[in-house]
Amino acid sequence: MKKLLLLLTLISSFIVNAQETGTIKGLITDANGMPLAGASVSIKVLNKGAMTDFDGNFTIENIEVGTYDVTISFIGYESHDQSITVTSGNTTELNSSLKGSDTVLDEVILTANKQPQKITDVPATVNVISARDIAEFPSFNIGELAARQKGVDFVRSGVLGTGINIRGFNSAFNSKNLQVTDDRLSTLIATGLPLGSFSTVTKDDISRVEILLGPNGTLYGPNAHNGLVSTITKNPRQSEGTTIAVGGGNQSVLTARVRHAQVINDKFSYKVHFERSQGTEFDYVDSVYVGTTAYKELDLDRDFDSQKYGATLFYKPTSSSELSGYYGHSNSNNIGVTNAGRNQIKDWSIDVAQIKLVSKHFFANTYYTWSKTDETYAMNQRTQNYVSFIDNGFTDAEARERSFTEQWFQTGTNFGEGVALDRGAVFKDASKRFNAEAQYNNNWDKFYLTAGAQYQLDMADSRGTYLLDEGGIDLDQTGVYTQLEYKTTDSGWGFLLGGRIDNHQLYGSNFIPKAAITKKLKNGTFRITYGKGIAVPSILNLKGNLFGGLVLGNGEGFTLTDGTKIQKLDVETINSYEIGYKGKLSDKLFIDTNAYYNQSDNFISPLRNIADAANGNNVTHIGDQPIGDVIEGSTGSFVLTYLNFGHVDTYGIDVGLNYYFNDNFRSTFNYSYFGRDLDKNDLANDGNLDGQVLESELPINTPNHKFSLGVHYNKGKFYGAMYGRYVQKYDFFSGINVAAETQDQDGDGVNEIVENAQVGRTWNYGQLGGFTVDANAGYNFNDNLSLGLSITNLFNAKIREFVASPVIETLVSFELKYKMNFFKKKSSSNN
């Protein structure tokens, strides 16, 4: 009898509970009615939610009766809040159509915390280059769009070359901003430099680019030092169809691209892409000095081209998880600017293979990168080698042939009396890199946890051409990180605490903390953040051996003739403190602003000459070995290497304003200020070791002031934008490269730097910066066909933006694009 009563009680309780709960289900689509697979639907107050399946459908069960705010979000779209009432025993339908983000505060981003998050909730300054921005920019080189972002130092070195820097310390070999693409490093293996035009992805496959200002090392590891640039490509489930684009412009630019994406069924989808681009650089020759005589770069080839292709296969084991496999390839020929001269890049190829799993709470990623070139060479060194043979009576043919590997040093009074020393100008590369990462994330009521681990193995191999790497150089590092967030709904307060322990094979363990406090106000969010970043010296910094020992890495330290010890490179660190606010100043005016203060220690310098041959103070040892044993024939009379500075403080502000006149017309204003505080009494800041600290020894290479003003118009079939950009004139020092005003550096009454004159081994054209205007416009003839036009430096202002680079003349490019969306119609009909 007791058992029967207990059973009836349980049944009664079950019936009551069933009647006191309900279900929400529905369909989430984009503005065109296409299902959005993987959209997030959540009831935050109950900590309940679901992800949409292949058809955009979702179901949330066992919801207690009541009225709730349901939040729907998807990367690149406006997040949407909707109030809905759940009744007992019933299913409530919630269908919603998300539209692409039109305002900066509605954007949902991915990069900051490695999971979808509304941009106002992110405790960092984030710039977003959206798919719409990219589609409406009619050029194959979308790097130029970075010039329109706040807090970003954008430079152009020619028709092809573009680059960005964030918050100071730029150089011609800048690796302080980590760049990733679809969760894989987009950097060269031995140098850590961004891939740039070597990237294996094409413009039409890019969904968005997210640029985070300031250190982001806790989640992303070493070298997310000054900032992070994350490129995210399109998922075929939201981008089915075929895109064919052809374009051209002055400087003989031609480009052709094809992208195809298709959903096979509810489990499988895929995409493929291909691009071929070519053109000719501006008619500019960098002077190569032998003594005081200038020579043209030998065999300068101004033509550039690149070819890239890739494919990704996607598989959905469940409705809320996806497994993808990617392979990409690029091959490039162009001119590259370095801090030791310019390189003629010949058939440099990059290959990447990646497997990635993404689910609601778990993320796993592994990929393999390999780099290859056999004929790339340094034009500066090869030219010097060639001149040395010609000046000593060798034929032109022999001088050209031997200039790739040797330089002639005359030892007698007659031609031909001398010796050929190794001054190799050729760079070969057969380097590889393996990466793996696993991450878990979840939330319990107001607590959000992210935890993960990363592993990286760099396998550098220059075939003995630019590294001390006989047998190759293998370096590994492992990072373990965790991040905890606490978010209150009623008060609007949020707290974040994170930390990473990163263990490097050479430098042991480094701790990278992160902390933030946010407060949601009526019209925005206020934040206070602290973050640490580290920059581990690259393999080139540690083991470089260029031009027969003229440029050496500093992985072991040096000894000079007088006994002076040059310490080996240490890890560079930065501690960054920032306050910021994102929000509305009125119904149409939005602001995103910050102020920051950075403390940098052990700053890794550009190349410095540590020998003083004039006073007989040469380099005698590398580590414990005589320099002649390591570099055959070296006397140590001229050695360029990398050093650590002591301590440098930098600070600044960034202000971004967006004003929306109406749905079709908006304006943007960005302003940035950057300053620094160098202790001239701290001899650890003596970059050239001459006993005095000079401002020029600190390679800030950043303007104090810069601003831009832009307008955007988009209505019907027409779209257009115009941007004016001002960069205050500033000095730039990087290795042998100088771009600076005339100045007496040490106060002795003699101008060591003279504008429009030879300075050391190069020609100084004066300071960088100025004012330019860029514009782009286009017309959509129908849903399939569009034509766009872009003009860089509209009024042909005579400004130079980078060292060892030409004045940037007006660049005009056009693009005709045809999109076939027959899959879209088929998918819509299935719903």
pLDDT attached to residue 830: 40
Pairing of strands 737-739, 732-734: antiparallel
Residue 119: phi and psi, rounded to 5, are -60, -30
C-alpha span between 470 and 543 (Å, rounded): 11
pLDDT attached to residue 109: 55
pLDDT attached to residue 15: 46
Reading across the β-sheet that carries 177-181, which strands appear in turn?
A: 125-130, 206-213, 227-233, 177-181, 184-185
Q: How crowded is residue 581: how many other Cβ atoms within 10 Å of its Cβ? A: 17
Residue owning tokens 């300068």 = 300
pLDDT attached to residue 181: 94
Q: Which two tokens stand for residue 223?
A: 């070298």
With contact defined as beta carbons under 8 Å apart, do 194 and 184 qualify? no
C-alpha span between 204 and 234 (Å, rounded): 9
Report which secondary-structure segment, H or E, holds 258: strand 253-263
Q: How crowded is residue 472: how many other Cβ atoms within 10 Å of its Cβ? A: 14
Q: Which two tokens stand for residue 256?
A: 């052709």
C-alpha span between 49 and 47 (Å, rounded): 7
- What residue spans define the domains of the chain? 2-100, 121-536+571-607+642-829
Q: Which two tokens stand for residue 469?
A: 């790497």
627 Cβ neighbours under 8 A, 6+ residues apart: 549, 619, 620, 621, 634, 635, 636, 639
| Predicted TM-score of the model (pTM) | 0.87
C-alpha span between 324 and 591 (Å, rounded): 38
pLDDT attached to residue 604: 83
Q: Which two tokens stand for residue 449?
A: 């946890």
Q: Which two tokens stand for residue 624?
A: 């414990």
504 Cβ neighbours under 8 A, 6+ residues apart: 222, 475, 477, 510, 536, 571
Query: 2-100 has which CATH code?
Result: 2.60.40.1120
C-alpha span between 69 and 24 (Å, rounded): 12
* Side chain identity at residue 293, one-letter code: T
Q: How crowded is residue 519: how many other Cβ atoms within 10 Å of its Cβ? A: 15
Paired with 752 in beta bridges are none
Residue 800 DSSP code: B
With contact defined as beta carbons under 8 Å apart, do 484 and 496 qualify? yes
Superfamily of domain 121-536+571-607+642-829: TonB-dependent receptor, beta-barrel domain (2.40.170.20)
Q: What is the DSSP string of 177-219?
A: EEEEETTEE-B-TTT--B-GGG-S--GGGEEEEEEEES--HHH
The number of angstroms, rounded, from the C-alpha of 590 to the middle of its chain's C-alpha atoms is 26
Pairing of strands 640-641, 608-609: antiparallel
pLDDT attached to residue 829: 39
Cβ burial of 515 (10 Å; 0-12, 13-18, 19+) is middle
* Side chain identity at residue 282, one-letter code: F
pLDDT attached to residue 396: 95
C-alpha span between 8 and 496 (Å, rounded): 49
Residue 644 DSSP code: B
The Cα angle at residue 750 between residues 746 and 751, in degrees rounded to 5: 85
Residue 300: phi and psi, rounded to 5, are -60, 125
Q: Which two tokens stand for residue 505?
A: 């094979």
Q: What is the mean pLDDT of each run of 10 residues along the chain (831 residues)?
A: 50 51 86 72 77 77 87 73 85 82 56 61 81 88 88 92 88 84 93 91 93 84 84 90 96 97 94 97 93 94 97 92 96 93 96 94 95 96 95 93 92 77 92 96 87 96 91 93 88 92 93 93 90 91 89 92 91 94 89 94 82 86 90 85 86 94 91 88 72 74 95 92 96 90 85 91 94 96 94 95 94 95 49 37
With contact defined as beta carbons under 8 Å apart, do 787 and 781 qualify? yes
With contact defined as beta carbons under 8 Å apart, do 819 and 784 qualify? yes
C-alpha span between 806 and 801 (Å, rounded): 8
| Contacts within 8 Å (CB) and 24+ apart, 592-595 | 592/104, 592/125, 592/150, 592/655, 592/656, 593/653, 593/654, 593/655, 593/656, 594/125, 594/151, 594/213, 594/653, 594/654, 595/651, 595/652, 595/653
Residue 114: phi and psi, rounded to 5, are 60, 30
